[in-house]
Structure 1
Amino acid sequence: MIRGETVVVERPTEVGRNSRNEPRFEWTPEDVDNVLVFPGPLADVPDAARPAGVRVEWSLYWPKTYTKSLAGCRVRIRGGEPVTIIGDPHEYVQAPTRWNRPSEAGRTDG
């Protein structure tokens, strides 16, 4: 039987503004169980098709039981540094397994 692992989703909460009126955030951690985690991108997409400066480090498949939005969130995988979830994954309505929302996570260089 396939079993995912626990990752830590960090959600941003704006807690104020700095002297240049830019938002300041605090990150609230949330453990999410049973996430399938694979290194690298979901598909062979050329660098030219990626947003400027984004390097995909992880492919994630979220369980059907986890329905919260992941827009603007980051994730810690295996105790590593947080990486940004790219976009907000959408569910496959007819997914035959327990995981129905694929996403990618990485970091921005530049």
Structure 2
Amino acid sequence: MRGETITLIHRTPAGRDPAGGTVWDTREEQVDDVLIQDGGQSNLTDGIRPDGIHIAKTIHMPRAWPYRSLRGAKARIDGVEYTVIGDPRPYTGGLAPTRWNLTVELADTRG
């Protein structure tokens, strides 16, 4: 089994604007051998977004990727940026039988 290449987009605080808000820097990182699993997809049913959709995916990161927090990060897959949900952590303890040790849930809402 072989994964795909995705782009992780990390953001870090770079200072404050004149109004006191946080100014962010972004950094992009290519990650190879990521397994991509489609999740739920649904149409939004509220009256103000009749053409809206919600998409979920799960990615499985390879052990070879040096772990760092993904809180606030995005993952670009096939040109679409998905938001990382929460702050996932790698599997710990014991022997794991695969090359992947971090499950990351992603979501995107459009329309």
User: TM-score, structure 2 length as denominator?
Assistant: 0.72
Alpha-carbon separation, structure 2, partners of 1:76 and 1:63? 16
Which ranges of structure 1 fall in alignment gaps of 5 or more residues? 42-54
For residues 11-47 of structure 1, the C-alpha deviation after alignment (integer angstroms, 9 at most, x for no partner) is 1022332343111212110001111011115xxxxxx
1:72 aligns with 2:72: yes
Q: Is the 8 A contact 1:56 1:104 kept in 2?
A: no
Aligned CA RMSD, in angstroms, stands at 2.0
> How many equivalent pairs are there?
94
SS in 1 for 2:25: strand
- 1:74-93 alignment to 2 at 5 Å? 74-80=74-80, 82-93=81-92
Measured after TM superposition, the shift of residue 56 of structure 1 is 5.4
Structure 1 runs of 4+ with >4 Å offset: none
Paired position in structure 1 for 2:12: 13
Overall identity of the aligned pairs, in %:
36
AA aligned to 1:3 is: R
Task: Output the amino acid matched with 1:75.
Answer: A
CA distance in 2 between partners of 1:91 and 1:15 (Å)? 27
For residues 54-77 of structure 1, what are the alpha-carbon distances to aligned partners after superposition, in whole Å with 9 as ceiling and x for unaligned? x55210101011122212211101
